Amino acid sequence: MDYNAKIYVAGHRGMVGAALVRRLRRAGFNNLVVRTSAELDLRNQAAVADFFADEQPEYVLLAAARVGGIHANNTFRADFLYDNLMIQSNVVQQSHVHGVRKLLFLGSSCIYPRLAPQPIREEHLLTGPLEPTNEPYAIAKIAGLKLCEAYRSQHGSNFITVMPTNLYGPGDNYNLETSHVLPALLRKFSEAAAQAAPAVTVWGTGTPRREFLHVDDLADACLHLLRHYDGAQPVNVGTGKDITIQELADLVAELTGYPGEVVFDFARPDGTPRKLLDVSRLHGLGWHHRIGLREGLQQVLTSADWLHATQPVAALH
């Protein structure tokens, strides 16, 4: 890749997009094109067409998406399906029309069947039913993956797809109504420690297992794949290691200095029982993660990003 190549990072203000911008700039790529959602609504077909005609990017990193945790996914099902279908369809189509040299589409590990064999290989896609609570989002991401695959098959487009595991790090969402499990736990336990609350309630049974990857590791993997991978098959990106939600809660309690009781609300949904990615394809391409979970969480809890995102501390309910 030429260091002067024009690279469009779609979704640059999200957690993933911001990490991609940081990694690209650190590597010496400075001809980056970005737009906020107010400047460019990626759901608007005509606006996206005009943008591509004006900017003519050579590379596209498609990190723009409507995202959220179990509550958001299960509540705003139509929005998650419609918005993501429109965003990715418009960007992929215009990347084809304007001859983009390479596009990297960021999917999600939720595309895999709810009860897929563990660890989950890329070949397990579409072999069983999805997790109901995030089915609309997963279907949208599957459509995006298949869209890239179809453009490659029909038009020879160099569109690659990346399936990251659960992410955390700078730029995460700590809103308890819409966040994923890890940022929600960080916020809950931090506030409980500050207020000396007697107990913290965690959704579900605590038995599901989850894999967590620092977003800076994901950005590094994406740059590696941009440089070294041109295949049609999706590539899982993760650590290859998982942890139960109860173990995660205990770790977060320790790191936030919370000494009280942890209570699990069995009336709340667990989601998928286990979701561990097989990352052998990625390892075979020469990339391994660098940031361990404890180290990554310690970085988060001492960062200016964390202090800004969680102030002021709200009252616990």
Say which amino acid occupies 40.
L
pLDDT digits (tens, 9 = 90+) for 137-196: 999 999 999 999 999 999 999 999 999 999 999 999 898 877 889 999 999 999 999 999
Pairwise CA distance, residues 162 & 147, whole Å: 13
137 carries an active-site annotation: yes
CA 59 vs CA 7, 34, 42, 144, 309: distances in Å: 5, 12, 17, 17, 31
The band of 68, judged by pLDDT with boundaries at 50, 70 and 90, is confident
Is residue 228 within 8 Å of 285, Cβ to Cβ? yes
**What percentage of the chain carries pLDDT values higher than 90?**
87
The one catalytic residue among 8, 137, 168, 258: 137
Say whether 282 counts as a known binding-site residue: no
Across 91-100, average pLDDT: 98
CA dist 30 and 21 (Å) reads 9
113 is in an annotated binding site: no
The answer on whether 14 is annotated among ligand-binding residues is yes
163 is in an annotated binding site: no
H or E stretch covering 241: none
Q: Is residue 286 annotated as involved in ligand binding?
A: no
Residue 313 is predicted with a pLDDT of 39
- Mean residue pLDDT of the chain comes to 94
Q: Which of the four pLDDT bands, split at 50, 70 and 90, describes residue 308?
A: confident
Confidence at 272, pLDDT banded by 50, 70, 90: confident
Q: Is the pLDDT of residue 203 over 80?
A: yes
Does the annotation place 180 within a ligand binding site?
yes
Query: What integer pLDDT is reported at residue 311 of this predicted model?
Result: 63
Residues 47 and 250 sit within 8 Å (Cβ to Cβ): no
- For the chain, domains (ranges, CATH) are 7-168+211-237 (3.40.50.720), 181-209+241-275+293-309 (3.90.25.10)
DSSP-derived secondary structure letter, 295: H
CA distance 223 to 55: 21
pLDDT over 70 (residue 314): no
Cα-based angle 61, 212, 285 (whole degrees, multiple of 5): 55
Is residue 166 marked as binding?
Answer: yes
Residue 224 in 3-state DSSP? helix
Burial of residue 256 (number of CB atoms within 10 Å: 0-12, 13-18, 19+): buried
**pLDDT above 50: residue 31:** yes
Angle, vertex CA 119, rays to CA 280 and CA 131, nearest 5 = 130
- Residue 132's pLDDT band (cuts 50, 70, 90): very high
Closest CA to 67 of 47, 81, 50, 52: 81
To the question of whether residue 210 is assigned a binding role by annotation, the answer is: yes
